[in-house]
Structure 1
Amino acid sequence: MDNSELILSNIFNRKSVRNFTDKKVDKADLLTIIKAGMSAPSALNLQPWEFIVFDDMETIDWMVNLHDYSKMFKTATAGIVVCGNMDKTIEGFEDFWIQDCSAATQNILLAIEALNLGGVWLGIYPIDERCKKLIDYFNLPLNIIPFAVIALGHPSNVEKSKNKWDDKKLHWNKW
């Protein structure tokens, strides 16, 4: 398989994994995953992202009750909080940090897939209650806003990717 086939295969095979084995994620893999996140594009290359990586059981156990959809942390062995640094935004266009952190989060998910790990994106921002819980737990500075949490680990079973192609959503030249 050539490079383009590998990259497209990784994109097409990415899936949300919610159940994990108890095997720990290697720290080198976690660093590779964060490096992928930091390789995302950003408006004016301001790179407004910050990352909190955790693999301690206290934090993982706390994450289980973060919100109604965070139960996959019952089996996760690591997690990542993607945050936006409001000191790295564009005056008058501050909300571009959301797109930038989305791109970083997607890169993280693709790196997780490439490393034969599993992960799932848990939405945080713009839900104030979720943001506040993370701000308090991690003692985040005022300029840092939690954007997303990713639960990850070694998949406990083989998940199948979903074919999301829908030709009705493709428009050529005009609507």
Structure 2
Amino acid sequence: MDLFEAIQKRHSYRGDYTDRQVSRDDLVKIVKAGLLAPSGKNCQTTRFVIVDDPDIIEKIKGMHPGNKAFQQAKAYILCVIDKAPEAIYEGFSFEVEDCAAAVENMLLSITALGYASVWIDGWLRVENRAEKIGQLLGVPEDKVVRIILPVGVAAEEKSQPEKLPLEKRASFNSWNL
């Protein structure tokens, strides 16, 4: 699948997954795509935990009973960043942005490889869920699970929701929106 096709097909998948497993080779390809994402001052701060152990998957999926994709995932990829990131440029840190860039690369790779996923972030921030998952996986206390991607093969074909046209979201040379 070419890049622009993957961009057009990528969507947040919250439906059922098939029973087909996600190969470890594909999980490595997906995370390597995340590693290739840009990062502020090339600090490469984002770390990843790849979960494909069925026993650990069972423990994690029990934490989010309302999301089909989360419940039926055959693997999870977790993005981990520092809780108190170090400023690297003019008093700013870029760990959240670095994580986001890595996640987008991985989401496109997931799509290109024939899998589906959904970016889970907000859910992790309530009821100490990020900390609970971090403890389960041995994430050090100075780090936080910022994003979790459930990965599987979609059981149903879905498409990206309609996006606003270019002229409603972009203009050349000045703000004309």
- Answer whether TM exceeds 0.5 for this pair: yes
Structure 1 residues 148 and 113 mapped into 2: Cα distance closer, same or farther (>3 Å)?
same
Counterpart residue identity of residue 132, structure 2 = K
More strand by share: 1
Give the length in aligned residue pairs.
170
- Counterpart CA distance in 2 for 1:38 and 1:21 is 28
Offset, 1:109: 0.4
Residue 99 of structure 2 aligns with which residue? 101
- State how far apart, in whole Å, the 2-side matches of 1:126 and 1:59 are: 17
Q: For the structure 1 residues 132 and 153, does the alpha-carbon distance in structure 2 shift closer, same or farther, using more than 3 Å as the test?
A: same
Shift of 1:56: 1.9
The alignment's TM-score, normalised by the length of structure 2, stands at 0.84
Q: Quick one: which of 69, 90, 110 aligns to 2:108? A: 110
CA RMSD of aligned residues (A): 2.3
Contact 2:60–2:133 under 8 Å retained in 1:
no
Query: Helix, strand or coil for the counterpart of 2:129?
Result: helix
Q: Return the match for 1:37 from 34, 48, 64.
A: 34
Deviation at 1:144, TM superposition (A): 1.7
| Structure 1 residues 1-175: aligned runs within 5 Å | 6-18=2-14, 19-67=16-64, 70-85=67-82, 89-91=86-88, 92-94=91-93, 96-124=94-122, 127=125, 129-166=128-165, 167-175=167-175
CA positional deviation for 1:76? 1.0
User: In structure 1, what residue type is equivalent to 2:129?
Assistant: R
Structure 1's unaligned 5+ residue stretches are none
CA positional deviation for 1:93? 1.5
The runs of 5 or more residues in structure 2 that have no matched partner are none
Contact 2:116 2:151 (C-alpha < 8 Å) held by counterparts? yes
TM-score by length of 1: 0.85
Q: Partner of 1:120: helix, strand, or coil?
A: coil
